[in-house]
Each structure stands twice: as C-alpha cells, then as structure tokens.
Structure 1
Amino acid sequence: MKVKYDKETDILYITLSDEVIEESDEDKKGFVLDYSKSGNLVGIEILNASKSSINPAKVEYEVA
C-alpha cells in the first residue's frame, strides 16, 4: 500500500494494489474509487483533501 499527497492539486491517493485500473467511480462527491477489471479495489482518490476532515500531512500506520 502506498499513500501520496499532492499539495498542488490537493489530492490524496491511496494505492491498494498494482493491478491496472479499469474503471473509476465517484460514489460520494470528492471520493473516487478505482477498480481493476476483476472488480478489485485498486485505489482511493480524495479530492480537496485538505478541505475535508482528513489531515493529509499526518499518516498513522497500525498493524494488529
């Protein structure tokens, strides 16, 4: 998994898989879900990330 924040575009992207993106859906305004050909979730794109409740400058990682 990889997390990338682009300050210029204010987009936070979370890559979940290396599969090729076949389809993208904006289920909720500002949240784009990318899917592979087989329907697996490949990535999550958060538009206007700094304006949402998400703090793109702070990432916490936890393994349980």
Structure 2
Amino acid sequence: MKVTYDAEVDILRIVFSSAPIEQSDEEKPGLIFDYDEDGNIVGLEILDASKRTENPLAVEYAVVGKAA
C-alpha cells in the first residue's frame, strides 16, 4: 500500500494494488475509486484533501490482530 499527498493540487491518493486501473468512478463528490479489470478496488483519491481530512500530511499506521 502506498499513500501520497500532492499539496499543489490538494489530492490524497491511497494505492492498494499495482494492478492496472481499468475504471474510475467518483462515488461521491471528491471521492474517486479506481478499479482493476475484475472490479477490485486498487486505489482511492480524495480531492480537496485538506478540507476533508484533519491533516493530509500526517499518516498513522497500525496493525491490529494477526496479519494474514
């Protein structure tokens, strides 16, 4: 998984998989899901991230329970 924030365009992107993107849908205004050819979510983009998150520059990562 990879998380990037582009401050110039105020977009927070979370990439879950390196699979090629076949389709992107704006599920709600400013929230774009990217899908592979099998319909699996491979990425998520949050537009105007500084207005939708507390701090797009901060990332907290935690593993809860056993990893598969």
Same fold (TM over 0.5): yes
Shift in Å, 1:62 = 0.3
Aligned counterpart, 1:4: 4
Equivalenced residue count is 64
Letter in 2 for 1:61: Y
- Identical-residue share of aligned pairs (%): 56
Letter in 2 for 1:44: L
Cα distance, 1:25–1:54 mapped onto 2, change above 3 Å? farther
**Structure 2: 5+ residue stretches without partners:** none
Aligned counterpart, 2:60: 60
Query: Map of 1:29-40 to 2, 5 A cutoff?
Result: 29-40=29-40
| Structure of higher CA gyration radius | 2
**Structure 1: 5+ residue stretches without partners:** none
Letter in 1 for 2:37: K
**Over aligned residue pairs, what C-alpha RMSD do you find?**
0.8
Shift in Å, 1:53 = 3.2
TM-score (norm 2): 0.90
Query: Map of 1:13-24 to 2, 5 A cutoff?
Result: 13-24=13-24
